[in-house]
Amino acid sequence: MAQQEKKSSPGIPWRTRIALSFVSTITDYSRRQNGTVNRRLLGIFGLKTSASPNPVNGVKSYDVTVDSSRDLWFRLFIPTTDESRNLSSLPIIVFFHGGGFVYLSPDTKAYDAVCRRFARKTPAVVVSVNYRLAPEHKYPAQYDDGFDVLKFLDNEKNRELLPENVDLSLCFLAGDSAGGNLAHHVAKRASEMTSTFDALKVIGLVAIQPFFGGEERTESELKLVEVDALISVRRTDWMWNAFLPPGEGMDRDHEVINVCGPRAVDISKLDNFPATMVVVGGFDPLKDWQRRYYEWLKRSGKDVHLSEYPTMVHAFYIFPEVPEATHLILEVKDFVNKQCSKVVKN
The CA distance from 152 to 158, in Å, is 7
Compute the CA torsion angle 189, 192, 193, 197 (nearest 10 deg). Answer: 80
Contact predicate 302/334, CB 8 Å = no
Catalytic residues: 177, 284, 314
> Residue ranges of the alpha helices (H) in the chain?
14-30, 39-45, 82-86, 109-121, 141-154, 178-192, 219-223, 233-243, 287-299, 323-345
DSSP 3-state of 27: helix
Nearest Cα residue to 148 out of 170, 128, 169, 131 = 131
The CA distance from 92 to 335, in Å, is 13
**Buried residues in 13-39 as b, exposed as e (16+ CB within 10 A):** eeebeebbeebbebbeebbeeeeebee
Phi-psi region of 321 (alpha: psi -120 to 50; beta: other; left: phi over 0): alpha
First-to-final CA distance of the chain:
27
Contact predicate 254/183, CB 8 Å = no
The CA distance from 276 to 279, in Å, is 10
CA 271 vs CA 203, 252, 274, 289: distances in Å: 11, 28, 8, 24
Look at strands 125-130 and 72-79 and give their pairing. Answer: antiparallel
Residue 273 DSSP label: P
Residues 6+ apart with CB under 8 A from 72: 65, 66, 129, 130, 131, 132, 145, 148, 149
Q: C-alpha angle with apex 328: 326 to 334, nearest 5 degrees?
A: 110
